[in-house]
Amino acid sequence: MAALLVLAAIPAVLAATAPAFAPAGLGPQFQSGNYTGASNGTLKNGPVVPGVAFDRFIQIWFENTDFAVANSSSVFQALAKQGILATNYVAVTHPSEPNYAAVVGGDFWGMGDDNLHYIPSNISTIADLLDQKNISWGSYQENMPYDGYPDYNYTQPNYLNSSAPPYTYYVRKHNPLILYDNIANVPARAERIRNFNDFAVDLGNNTLPQWSFITPNLVDDAHDTTVDFAGDFISYWLLPLLNNTNFNTNRTLIVLTFDENETYGEENFVWALFFGGAVPQSLWGTQDNTFYSHYSSLSSVEANWGLGNLGRGDVNKTMSNVYDFLLSAGINYTNVAVPNPPLTNLTTTIPGPENPTLYVPFLAPVNASGLGAGGGPTYIAPGTNLSLTAANAPAPVNLTALGEALPGSTPETTSTGSSSPSASPSGSGSASSAASVRIGAATLLMGVAAAIAFCL
């Protein structure tokens, strides 16, 4: 009888995981108590560094949606009329977290899960390349409780339904910069990983960085909801910003896309749009069939500002074509035709330092100096072992079969943390930094339902 009561309750809880859209605040320019953490003040940036085709680059990612599904949304269709729709753009793997790791680090390191990963400090990211040219960068994470928050997730009162149990709106796996220790463990860098209250303040003070990555929360990005829910968020939050010159100028390029598709058995095509003031109006409503991947976001930024490269996926010519319209804007680069795109829907089958069954240590970057889209040298982070390369890498090892743990990783899946930065761990980010809080029966039931409904 008790089991029947539990089963009877699950549909009601499941229904609560897909509510009707409601805004978290009054608009993108206003702070909101629903974001839990107040802004820590205005972001401080240096002078604007001009690029060839754009001076500001903004990425906004949504979740787990097939191209056709996104393209069927009236909101996404309307938005496509204001930019260039990429019809041959792929995510680089499954599930979510490795795609986020890849878009800033140029590799997903064999990762095939959404576990708690700490990528060591001698592994570089786009932030290192931008810093070399004094180009400001940052990230805005909806519902992250405070800047540089390190924990696995954050659960808070449910602003969509105050009578429902607390809800996990923020997850670390969708926050690409925090995955890398050379950002997360450097306070001045971690403070650039900010929340939406910070966004409101930075927007109002015209201090948004030149490079930014924006992640809506788990309902607004369609992860726990639908593409129509994401469309409502776009209408509420993004569309008003397109007319705000503190966000969108004639030198702003915005890329809106998805981390991965929903159907793992198909090639990993995702909906991607290039828009913003840097896209010539003559190209609005057009389509681009060039083969792109998430690595194209790296190569396009490198090309625009004449940066170096990471020696990773950003120098893989097949996977890193520069956005084609930029070539007409003065960027000197030659894209390659890819008539037979590689499969990017594989998971857990790629060896790497974040794969416990095919473990290979972190390898030195490919020496691609001058071969990246920006023409600059390959960035080598301090502490990199240049003698350990792809040419002499050891054979993959099954750590799981040996009973050994994957270094710098833990399969933590239920953690909540403090909304106060005073409770932030002071160490290098160990598995214990995500403090587990065991919750009551009502929240546990929500977790059971969520486990059924979520697609990781």
Distance CA 290, CA 448 (A): 42
C-beta atoms surrounding 334 within 10 Å: 9
Q: Which helix (H) or strand (E) holds 275?
A: strand 272-275
Provide the pLDDT for residue 370: 84
Alpha carbon 6 to its chain's center: 36
Residue 176 preceded by cis peptide, ω within 30: no
Candidates 384, 213, 386, 382; CA nearest to 301 is: 213
Locate 242 and state its tokens.
Answer: 């397109």
Integer angstrom CA distances of residue 385 from 361, 364, 388: 11, 6, 6
Q: Residue 153 burial by CB count (10 A; 0-12/13-18/19+): exposed, middle or buried?
A: buried
Q: Which helix (H) or strand (E) holds 154?
A: strand 153-156
Provide the pLDDT for residue 425: 31
Q: Residue 197 burial by CB count (10 A; 0-12/13-18/19+): exposed, middle or buried?
A: buried
Provide the pLDDT for residue 183: 98
Q: Model's pTM, two decimal places?
A: 0.89
Distance CA 260, CA 147 (A): 26
Distance CA 113, CA 328 (A): 39
Residue 294 near residue 92 (C-beta atoms within 8 A): yes
Locate 244 and state its tokens.
Answer: 């705000």
Provide the pLDDT for residue 368: 86
pLDDT digits (tens, 9 = 90+) for 54-103: 999 999 999 999 999 999 999 999 999 999 999 999 999 999 999 999 99
Residue 172 near residue 116 (C-beta atoms within 8 A): yes
Provide the pLDDT for residue 395: 97
Locate 77 and state its tokens.
Answer: 């269709």
Amino acid at 308: G
Locate 24 and state its tokens.
Answer: 């978290």
Active-site positions read: 224
* Per-residue model confidence as pLDDT tens for the chain (456 residues): 333 333 333 333 333 456 899 999 999 999 999 998 899 899 999 999 999 999 999 999 999 999 999 999 999 999 999 999 999 999 999 999 999 999 999 999 999 999 999 999 999 999 999 999 999 999 999 999 999 999 999 999 999 999 999 999 999 999 999 999 999 999 999 999 999 999 999 999 999 999 999 999 999 999 999 999 999 999 999 999 999 999 999 999 999 999 999 999 999 999 999 999 999 999 999 999 999 999 999 999 999 999 999 999 999 999 999 999 999 999 999 999 999 999 999 999 999 999 999 999 999 999 888 889 999 999 999 999 999 999 999 999 999 999 999 998 877 654 444 555 543 332 333 332 332 322 233 333 333 333 333 333
Q: What residues does each domain of the chain span?
A: 11-453
Provide the pLDDT for residue 419: 57
DSSP tally for the chain: helices H, then strands E? 12, 14
Paired strand residues for 116: 410
If you classify domain 11-453 with CATH, what class do you get?
alpha beta
